[in-house]
Homo-oligomer: A and B are copies of this chain.
Amino acid sequence: MKSKTHKQHPQLVADWQTLMRTFIRPENEATRSTLVKYMEQILFGLHDFLGDHVGITEEASLKELAGQFTDTRINRTPEKKLADVITDLIEDIAPHAVNVASPYFIGHMTAAIPFFMVHLKTIVAALNQNVVKLETSKVVSIIEKQILAKIHRLVYSRNDDFYAEHVQHTSTTLGSFVEDGTLANITGLWVARNKRLYPRPGFGGVEQEGMAAGLRAHDLDRCVVLVSRLGHYSLRKAGGVLGIGNRNIIGLEVDAENRIDIKRLKAVIADLNRPAARTGIIAVVGIAGTTETGTVDPLPELGEICAAHGIHFHVDAAWGGPTLMSDRYRHLLAGIDRADSVVIDGHKQFYMPMTSGMTLFKNPLSMEAVVYHAKYINRPGSVDLGIRSLSGSREASSLILDSALKIMGSQGYAILIEHGIETAEKFAAEIKRRDDFELMTPPQLNVLTYRLNPHELRGTPEKKTTDAERLNDINKLLQRLQREAGRSFVSRTTLTLPAASDTDTVVLRCVIMNPMTTPDILNEILDEQLNIYRKQILPDLDV
């Protein structure tokens, strides 16, 4: 890596004068234009590099890379100037980072973001407000409340009076921003847990007294959360963190379309609700866009079941939420307005920079169950956003979402969403058309899975098991070889498919969110896979 060559600046010393210059706004033109020049390098030097490298990254083994980042001492004197840091970034770091903006990068829920997002992030950094409290954010806290109301309205469509009352209400909240979907799911289940193990005479509530006292006060042995087995792993983590126990996040069987099995759910609830089961159900979770298959659970039915049993209905729409902005496809999320809490990620289909998540609550008083005060901020009666929030100090990423919605309009987002869904459909058709590939889960939103299933390997029925294992190995190898080649990237996961035998099925997973990902590019990716198979895998196979 080149950094070593310009790492030594024997003249660099940290002194008061130099330091102060970095704090004071530069008055002279020369300094100003240098600082702007740096921004130009950041914006385009990096982009030009990425443009010249269509694929993922230059090749370098992880071990080789890791070997270059082993110095663990902080230098006493400065090692680099900002200019060097930027050059290093472009010359040394970017080539070994992942070009998530490439239209050939279709493996994860991370993609290109619009140019202006970088500007918006810069604005947030330049303002450097801390939305934990009004005294370090003022109008920015007010804007955050407004954008939460806008997203709440997108999800719940309550009436004008409702929003007029709550948009700037100082003691209610329509939701909470957090860092990401995991923390947003924890927030939703935190509130649900506290609602289920509510205060009673002689019991101050689970937040105050803890899980064990909560179960005792409610005469229960355990609490559970019910979700399809395709639920995001953050739900299990939430179970662990919240003291519920992650094995009490129960993953239910799915139907042929990978949606939670409603019959099964009803039976499980009936069983858990027997007094002898001594079990409290904290929440049923519906998924609006599973991570692995993009599937949407039957939200209307889930809503009905939860309402009938008085169970908190949480919807994990971290991925699918923004689909609501498309008139053409918002019906796919019908029933989401029945949810007590809804999670949506900003850095996924709102195309925000890393990272931002939200939990919306239907009831503006839900977060009363998790209120915290302090003596120097967040005092009772203040409008400090930190009173109702999992985290404390927080950057104003709400400002990015607010501005992005103004720049794009819901129309702009709808165009992106529709491109993703429709391109995924075309890709599915192409996979089905090809002899050597097999569509494993068709797209409901813009996620699909498939696998290479070369026609020459199709066995007779009695050889089925052997074939399944061999196909798994081939697809694992294929995914790795393609990733390492660095031209394009699909991810892989392992599904337990209802139709399959005992063996779990390794599948290739594809997420279409980059508007520059065209059917032609997807064809190229399939061609490349077939090529890799024929040249690097088939020769070693015992066919």
Contact = CB atoms under 8 A, between A and B. Distances in A.
B245 A190 contact: no
Interface in A1-44: 12-16, 19-20, 22-26, 32, 35-36, 38-40, 42-44
Given A74-B325, A75-B406, A108-B377, 17 more contacts: A35-B43, A35-B115, A35-B119, A72-B149, A72-B152, A74-B153, A76-B411, A78-B411, A98-B138, A108-B130, A135-B483, A183-B183, A186-B241, A206-B245, A211-B245, A242-B243, A354-B395
A117 interface: yes
A534 B50 CA distance: 63
A110 B395 CA distance: 12
A44 B70 contact: no
Contact of A241 (B150, B190, B492): B190
A31 to B, nearest CB: 9
A276 interface: no
A112 interface: yes
Interface stretch (A300-308, A367-375, A435-443, A460-468): A367-375
A209 interface: yes
A516 interface: yes
A134 interface: yes
Residue from the set A94, A113, A190, A374 with the largest chain B CB neighbour count within 10 Å: A374
A500 B130 CA distance: 33
18 contacts: A23-B113, A23-B514, A62-B134, A66-B142, A72-B149, A78-B408, A82-B116, A82-B119, A98-B129, A101-B128, A113-B128, A125-B353, A129-B354, A208-B245, A210-B211, A291-B376, A292-B375, A354-B393
A516 B19 CA distance: 11
Interface in A127-184: 127-130, 133-140, 142-143, 145-146, 149-150, 152-154, 163-164, 167-168, 178-183
A416 B19 CA distance: 9
Instruction: Enumerate the 7 nearest inter-chain pairs by beta-carbon distance, A residue then B residue, closest first.
Output: A243-B243, A210-B245, A14-B412, A182-B392, A354-B395, A96-B139, A376-B493
A77 interface: yes
Interface residues of A, number: 184
A402 B227 CA distance: 40
Nearest to A449: B376
Contacts of A266: none
A390 B241 contact: yes
Contacts of A221: 212
Interface in A179-220: 179-183, 186, 190, 204, 206-213, 215-216
Nearest to A182: B392
A97 interface: yes
Contacts of A252: none
A411 B491 contact: no
Nearest to A494: B375
A233 B373 contact: yes
Interface stretch (A85-93, A331-339, A525-533): A85-93
Interface in A368-406: 370, 372-378, 383, 390-396, 399, 403, 405-406
B179 A69 contact: no
Contacts of A39: 36, 39-40, 43, 119, 122
